[in-house]
Structures are given as structure tokens and as C-alpha cells.
Amino acid sequence: MSRKEMILRAATRLFSAKGFKETSMAELSRMSGVAGGTIFYHFKNKEELFLSILEGFKSDIVEEFERYRRERKFDTGLDMIEGTISFYFYLVGRMEDRFLLLHRHDAYELAEVNPLCGEYLQSIYNCLLDIFEQAVQLGQEDGSIAGMPARKTAMIILCMVDGLARFNTYKLYDAGALYNELMQSCRRMLQNNQTQQQEVDSC
């Protein structure tokens, strides 16, 4: 692992555990085992380091979802939505530090004084919205999802999924305990009435 990667990994752990404000570069130097001068060689200040973590987070999310969709085959757009929700929770568990960092209020306080941070945060959520929107549009094309504004629908789904993920991230509630109910709610909201009737008739 390169020194830059060591810095980023340690910084992610510190920012997620203590927040942006409470993390010092001296503490980062101790945790990463990298000298302060070397840290400032790679990142001119703490804000640039934080933005680099956000940028890498977005790239990893896109890469992971692209790989997941290449490897999985979905019969319908509705199936893709359900798979996307499931994979989202998988990533929340696998990238716990970075999702905690994303969910901390520190990031949004920084965004108020640093417009670039706001743009990075928005780009992360926009890429997540794009992922859900693509599945909604596919479902509308194949008839498995009702005709409704795809972007707004994707936003509602993301709010439901990410809201439950936050409970899990903060150890307030086990997301797994509501997983089936979440899936059922999304299915009822999205499913084309004609498809619902066909399922009833087949029972």
C-alpha cells in the first residue's frame, strides 16, 4: 500500500469516528504512521484530504454497481430495483466507515462554507439516484413498473433505503429487521397495477 493510500485509509477511519472538525493532522500522522510533512506533500490541507475521500467514495460506488449489474441478470426493471436495494445494503456494511462519514453532519457543515464539498456530496447522491432511476426506467419500458416520474420515484426509494441504512450505521436499529417490509413497500409503490392483477390471478 502506498503512503497516500495509508493516509486516505486512516483519515477515513478518523473522519467517520470523530468527525471532520475533531480530527487533527497530528492524530492522522500517528494513526497512519506517515510523517506530517509527507501528508502535506500529498494533500495541502485537511479539506483537500476530505474531498479526496469523497471523490474516491463516489468512484468506488459507481464501479461496484457497474460490476454488480454486469454479473447479475434481471428479468425485469422491478427485479433490478430489488437487487439494487439489496446491494446498497451490502455496500453500507462493506464500506461502513465511508457511509458513516457521508451520514455525519460535519460534512454538510463543511459544505456550507466550502461549495466544492457541497458539489462532491451532491455528486455522490446524484450517482446513487442515477442508479435507481435507470432501474425504474427499465421497469417502465418492460411494464413491470408503473408510469410515474422516474427521477422523483428514484429519490423516494433512495430516501427510504438510505434512511434505514442510517439507523443501521448509527447502531440505532437493525436494518435487517425491516428489510422484507421495505421490499414489500417498494414493490407495492412501483408495481404496475396490471402486473399486480396478473399475480393475484395466478394465485
The three cell numbers locating residue 100: 458513516
With a pLDDT cut of 70, the percent of the chain lying above it is 95
- CATH number of the domain residue 8 falls in: 1.10.10.60
Quick one: 25 and 54 in the same domain? no
Quick one: 96 and 143 in the same domain? yes
CB 82 within 8 A of CB 186: yes
Quick one: 31 and 89 in the same domain? no
Residue 130 has pLDDT above 80, yes or no: yes
Regarding predicted confidence, which is higher, 197 or 159?
159
Quick one: 171 and 81 in the same domain? yes
Number of structural domains (the chain) is 2
How much is the pLDDT for 196?
Answer: 47
**pLDDT, the chain, mean:** 92
Domain that includes residue 30, residue range = 1-44
Among the residue ranges 24-33, 110-119, 122-131, 164-173, the one predicted with the least confidence is 164-173
Task: Break the chain down into helix, strand, coil percent, rounded to 5.
Answer: 80, 0, 15
Quick one: 35 and 50 in the same domain? no
Quick one: 31 and 65 in the same domain? no
Angle at which helices 77-94 and 179-190 cross, to 10°: 150
Quick one: 81 and 94 in the same domain? yes
The three cell numbers locating residue 60: 468506488
Reduced to 3 states (helix: H, G, I; strand: E, B; else coil), residue 44 is coil
Residue 200 banded pLDDT, cuts 50, 70, 90: very low
User: pLDDT per residue over 12-71, tens digit each?
Assistant: 999 999 999 999 999 999 999 999 999 999 999 999 999 999 999 999 999 999 999 999
Quick one: 107 and 13 in the same domain? no
The residue length of the chain stands at 203
Quick one: 92 and 175 in the same domain? yes
Residues 6+ apart with CB under 8 A from 157: 81, 85, 132, 136, 186, 190
The reported pTM is 0.88
Quick one: 40 and 51 in the same domain? no
Cα dist from 143 to 61, 175, 193, whole Å: 28, 30, 10
Quick one: 144 and 158 in the same domain? yes
Among the residue ranges 36-50, 145-159, 182-196, the one predicted with the least confidence is 182-196
Residue 199 has pLDDT above 60, yes or no: no
Residue 122 banded pLDDT, cuts 50, 70, 90: very high
Quick one: 100 and 110 in the same domain? yes
